[in-house]
Amino acid sequence: MTKLFENDAYIKEFRAKIKGIVKEDKHIELDQTAFYAKSGGQPGDKGEIETVGGKIKVLDTIKENNRIINIVDDIKDLEENNNIIGKINWDLRYKHMKMHTALHLLCSIIPLGVTGGQIGYEKSRLDFNDPDKLINKDELEEKINLLIGDNHTVTSEIIESSILKEKPELVRTMSVRPPEVDGKIRLIRIGNVDLQPCGGTHVNSTSEIGKIKIGKIENKGKMNRRVNLLLSS
Ligand SMILES: [Zn+2]
């Protein structure tokens, strides 16, 4: 299965063939897809699939044994090898891309281990191992908006996972292992600001994120602090 979003996160509409159907679960698998499957803290894409029989809704997109599965509202009389047009709910996905890129920037500003995170439409969060309470909300908001305004380019590259073993400092998340496919790992580079393994979708340039507001910094137990992040548009 070709993941179209890995090379171009801006594909909103694409053609594909149905590769597999599980009728009782209303699950569809395509031969190639621009629908992002829920993983690494980023929610799965929603949208629409157009077929000869009409339109069906994509309610969610999930990963199952490394396959990308669309959960749809109606299976109709779909069959394997049918041609379809997939349409991503772009409003939702673009917000996730902005949020996701902003979380990378947040990570680059705070030199602490990341213990968890979740991307959302209205609000996202990252949890840090911060027993000494070093994180300062106002300082964080100023720094992240400066990085956004600097208009850094966001690019991806694929490397052998053995290289990563020599540079373990690249893996910032303590709870999530980077996605590895056939011994290779995808890295996301934000200018000279951040470099880390990631399988998600990001904007091409930090200025697309717009102004970020840092919400509450919450204490989660003795060690962890949660930074909440909101988009202004
Ligand atoms: Zn990412």
Distance (Å, rounded) from C-alpha 116 to C-alpha 212?
A: 20
pLDDT of residue 167: 77
* Cross-strand pairs, 220: 224
Q: At residue 170, does pLDDT exceed 80?
A: no
Is residue 107 domain-shared with residue 141, that is, in the same domain?
A: yes
Please tell me the distance between residue 203's alpha carbon and the centre of ligand 1 in angstroms.
10
Reading phi first (left if > 0) and then psi (alpha if -120 to 50, else beta), residue 166 is in alpha
- The answer to whether the CB of 117 falls within 8 A of the CB of 41 is yes
* Cross-strand pairs, 21: 28
Please tell me the distance between residue 85's alpha carbon and the centre of ligand 1 in angstroms.
27
Is residue 104 domain-shared with residue 125, that is, in the same domain?
A: yes
Helix or strand or coil: residue 131? Answer: coil
**DSSP H helix total and E strand total for the chain:** 4, 16
Length of the chain: 233
**Cα dist. 188→28, 156, 178, 199 in Å?**
29, 5, 11, 8
Q: How many domains does the structure of the chain reveal?
A: 2
Please tell me the distance between residue 15's alpha carbon and the centre of ligand 1 in angstroms.
25
Please tell me the distance between residue 55's alpha carbon and the centre of ligand 1 in angstroms.
31
Phi, psi of 59 (to 5 degrees): -85, -30
What's the pTM value of the predicted model, to 2 decimals? 0.94
pLDDT tens digits for 86-131? Answer: 999 999 999 999 999 999 999 999 989 889 999 999 999 999 999 9
**Cα dist. 155→9, 44, 115 in Å?**
11, 21, 25
Strand 2-3 to 32-33 pairing: parallel
Q: At residue 173, does pLDDT exceed 70?
A: no
Is residue 74 domain-shared with residue 172, that is, in the same domain?
A: no
pLDDT of residue 175: 55
Is residue 111 domain-shared with residue 187, that is, in the same domain?
A: yes
Please tell me the distance between residue 95's alpha carbon and the centre of ligand 1 in angstroms.
13
pLDDT of residue 40: 86
Is residue 107 domain-shared with residue 63, that is, in the same domain?
A: no
Find, among 181, 180, 186, the residue nearest to 157 by Cα.
Answer: 186
Please tell me the distance between residue 101's alpha carbon and the centre of ligand 1 in angstroms.
6
Last residue of a domain, one of 49, 65, 88: 88
Please tell me the distance between residue 75's alpha carbon and the centre of ligand 1 in angstroms.
32
Please tell me the distance between residue 23's alpha carbon and the centre of ligand 1 in angstroms.
33
Is residue 121 domain-shared with residue 216, that is, in the same domain?
A: yes
CA count, 13 A, side-chain hemisphere, 141:
14
Please tell me the distance between residue 164's alpha carbon and the centre of ligand 1 in angstroms.
16
Please tell me the distance between residue 79's alpha carbon and the centre of ligand 1 in angstroms.
35
Contacts of 167 (CB under 8 A, 6+ apart): none
- The answer to whether the CB of 35 falls within 8 A of the CB of 11 is no
pLDDT tens digits for 4-24? Answer: 999 999 999 999 999 999 999
Please tell me the distance between residue 197's alpha carbon and the centre of ligand 1 in angstroms.
7
Please tell me the distance between residue 54's alpha carbon and the centre of ligand 1 in angstroms.
34
Last residue of a domain, one of 28, 54, 88: 88
